[in-house]
């Protein structure tokens, strides 16, 4: 819808893992290099662990890795390992092109070992990548460890990569997975993009889509990074929504205010500002008002703090701001019974003194 308006040949921020839009930052290049090392080094017999938060591009990296490998590497990726028992083994077999329906674990292991030996005889390597591995049970993790036991002449017949979220690392620390953890000799954790990488990522995807125009202002890119937390998937979602909004509003460039509005409509909370090095004691004893925030390029109103969820619509936003600016109505506190008695006693004394019936 907005492609012709902005002079784009295709949608620059589509969610699908299109290799055309592959952008590799420093941390992604390091991850790719480690993954390739885990395959190419002949004497490497351990497993490889790759982790990262949701949306950091783990699956995109695996796809890029597969595309870079030559025909000497037989590869397969398990993208939905949430199964158990013989179903898991049949899934592995089918991923490598064997559609035999194995009814027992032993039958699968015999067939799989023969497959690995045949590949080794042809000087070919076998790579098994298990994505979303954080959903694996301890029992399946142990089965995966046992698959790594297939060796010949001291060389592993299969390379196994475990790819998943941070939870996977936590699972591997459990005592039941100690033996598997000892088999992991290479591991890498993908961190989110830093602000400069977010800017490069956005500009690169726009160029691939067909334009070199700065469709996003500097402030808009900063806001995108803050809302997305540097996660490529979130960047894509927010930028795509911003371009659609810009098209509807007939805007030549996306401003910071547009990003604020889009984040609100998508219910994305703003990432808090980085903490300073001041201690809690310093902040509480010598706190100074930092003054008002600088006005945005479009004279937009300040973004609501991260501690308060962003509203889903402008109507809610208006209502919320009104509510926050109104002074709370406070009714006077009712005096206690003791205070009432004291007031009455004082009044009686004053009356008696006025009548001359009481002397000090």
φ/ψ region of 115 (left if φ > 0, alpha if ψ in -120 to 50, else beta) reads: alpha
**How would you class 73 by CB atoms within 10 Å of its CB: exposed for 0-12, middle for 13-18, buried for 19 or more?**
middle
Domain edges within the chain: 1-7+193-269, 41-191
Has domain 1-7+193-269 been given CATH number 3.10.350? no
Provide the pLDDT for residue 109: 96
- What is the spatial distance between Cα 356 and Cα 153, in angstroms, rounded to a whole number? 120
Provide the pLDDT for residue 43: 60
The residue ranking higher by pLDDT, 311 or 69, is 69
Alpha carbon 356 to chain centroid distance?
84
- What is the spatial distance between Cα 77 and Cα 126, in angstroms, rounded to a whole number? 11
CA-to-CA separations, 237 to 14, 47, 192, 244, 259, in angstroms, rounded: 8, 34, 16, 11, 11
Provide the pLDDT for residue 295: 41
Looking at domain 41-191, its CATH class is alpha beta
Provide the pLDDT for residue 194: 96
Provide the pLDDT for residue 74: 97
Q: What is the pTM of this model?
A: 0.71
Model confidence over 228-260: pLDDT tens digits? Answer: 999 999 999 999 999 999 999 999 999 999 999
The structure tokens listed for 354 are 């006025």
Q: Are 50 and 166 in contact (CB under 8 A)?
A: no
**What's the DSSP call for residue 51?**
E
Neighbour tally for 116: CB within 10 Å: 22
Model confidence over 310-340: pLDDT tens digits? Answer: 333 333 233 333 333 343 444 444 444 444 4
Provide the pLDDT for residue 45: 65
Model confidence over 165-177: pLDDT tens digits? Answer: 999 999 999 999 9
């Amino acid at each position: 819808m907005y492609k012709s308006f902005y002079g784009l040949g295709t949608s620059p921020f589509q969610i699908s893992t299109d290799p055309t839009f592959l952008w590799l930052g420093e941390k992604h290049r390091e991850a790719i290099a480690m993954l390739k090392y885990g395959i190419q080094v002949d004497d490497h017999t351990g497993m490889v662990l790759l982790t990262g938060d949701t949306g950091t591009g783990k699956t995109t990296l695996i796809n890029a890795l597969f595309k870079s490998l030559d025909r000497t590497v037989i590869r397969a990726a398990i993208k939905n390992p949430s199964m158990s028992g013989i179903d898991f083994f049949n899934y592995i077999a089918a991923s490598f092109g064997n559609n035999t329906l194995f009814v027992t674990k032993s039958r699968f292991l015999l067939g799989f070992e023969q497959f690995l030996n045949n590949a080794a005889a042809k000087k070919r390597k076998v790579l098994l990548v298990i994505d979303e591995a954080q959903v694996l049970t301890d029992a399946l993790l142990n089965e995966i460890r046992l698959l790594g036991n297939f060796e010949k002449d001291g060389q592993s017949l299969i390379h196994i990569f475990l790819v998943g979220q941070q939870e996977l690392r936590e699972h591997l620390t459990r005592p039941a997975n100690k033996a598997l953890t000892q088999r992991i000799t290479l591991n890498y954790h993908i961190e989110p993009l830093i602000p400069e990488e977010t800017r490069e990522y956005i500009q690169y995807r726009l160029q691939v889509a067909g334009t070199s125009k700065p469709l996003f202002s500097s402030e808009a890119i900063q806001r995108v990074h803050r809302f997305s937390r540097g996660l490529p998937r979130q960047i894509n979602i927010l930028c795509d929504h911003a371009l659609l909004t810009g098209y509807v509003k007939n805007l030549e460039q996306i401003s910071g205010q547009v990003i604020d509005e889009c984040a609100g409509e998508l219910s994305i909370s703003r990432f808090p500002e980085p903490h300073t090095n001041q201690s809690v004691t310093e902040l509480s004893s010598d706190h100074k008002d930092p003054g008002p925030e600088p006005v945005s390029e479009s004279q937009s109103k300040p973004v609501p703090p991260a501690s308060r969820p962003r509203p889903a619509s402008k109507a809610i936003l208006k209502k919320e701001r009104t509510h926050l600016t109104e002074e709370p109505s406070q009714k006077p506190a009712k005096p206690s019974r003791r205070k009432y008695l004291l007031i009455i006693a004082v009044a009686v004394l004053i009356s008696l003194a006025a009548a001359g019936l009481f002397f000090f």
